[in-house]
Structures are given as C-alpha cells and as structure tokens.
C-alpha cells in the first residue's frame, strides 16, 4: 500500500521539536482524521478572534483528538512508531495547533470540489 503515498506533495510539521513529513492522507487515515478535524473546527474558528476562549474549549477529549490527528498523519512514514512512544514525546500544544492546519490540508477536506454533482461538467 505504500505505493499510494504521495511523497512529492508531503508537507512538514514540527512535533517535539522534530520535523515530520505528512503525506496527502489516504482513505483509511481520512476515515479516522476527518471526523476529528470537523469536531475541532468550532475551536479553530474562534482561534483567530479569541485565542483565550478557543483554548478554554480545548477539553481533554479535544486535546486527545489533536494528538490522534498528528499521530495518524505521521504514522505513514514512521510505521515502527507506536502510539505509546508517540505519547512519550515532548509535544507542545503550540506544535499541535500548528500541525492541525497542515494535516487538515493534507486530508483534502478543504479543497474546492472539481464538480458539485456527479456527471456535472467541469468549469460550469
């Protein structure tokens, strides 16, 4: 399955002070990550206007979701990294917040659809 990893379009994130590559995510990763990203969108919508309020809504579950998003995103290139090892890394909240937008981009969730309806011609 590694032949589906798009290395050329990989982006970089920083976690625990180390650079990690994040490929364009594949379906099985998106199945995990997309609902977590969607659940965090209200927090990140507030981020630009009121960071303090946004942080106050970052409960333990939401924090766990940020960690899960980051772990799933880097796992492709680091198959031997266990979840337990990942959770032992000195990852900071600012790193997770910065990684969120990169991973969200790599899911394709925010790309403009090429066609609104199946069978609709492109460019109309």
What's the whole-number mean pLDDT along residues 28-51? 93
Q: What is the 3-state secondary structure (H, E, C) of 8-41?
A: HHCEEEEECCEEEEECCCCHHHHHHHHHHHHHHH
In a domain, 17, yes or no: yes
In a domain, 68, yes or no: yes
In a domain, 45, yes or no: yes
Task: Write out pLDDT tens, residues 58-105.
Answer: 889 999 999 999 999 999 889 999 999 999 999 999 999 999 999 999
Percentage of the chain beyond pLDDT 90 is: 62
In a domain, 18, yes or no: yes
Residue 21: give the domain boundaries. 2-107
In a domain, 86, yes or no: yes
List the one residue out of 91, 96, 119 whose CA is nearest residue 16: 91
Q: 122 pLDDT exceeds 50?
A: no
> Domain count of the chain?
1
In a domain, 21, yes or no: yes
Residue 102: exposure state from Cβ atoms within 10 A (0-12, 13-18, ≥19)? middle
Helix residue ranges per DSSP H, the chain: 27-47, 51-56, 60-75, 83-87, 93-107
In a domain, 33, yes or no: yes
């Amino acid at each position: 399955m590694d032949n589906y990893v798009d290395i050329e379009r990989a982006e970089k994130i920083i976690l625990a002070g180390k650079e990690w590559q994040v490929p364009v995510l594949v379906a099985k990763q998106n199945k995990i990550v997309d609902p977590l990203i969607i659940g965090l969108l209200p927090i990140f919508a507030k981020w630009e206007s009121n960071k303090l309020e946004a942080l106050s809504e970052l409960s333990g579950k939401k924090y766990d979701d940020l960690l899960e998003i980051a772990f799933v995103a880097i796992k492709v290139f680091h198959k031997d990294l266990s979840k337990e090892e990942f959770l032992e890394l000195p990852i900071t909240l600012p790193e997770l917040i910065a990684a969120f937008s990169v991973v969200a981009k790599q899911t394709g969730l925010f790309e403009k659809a090429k066609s609104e309806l199946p069978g609709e011609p492109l460019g109309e």
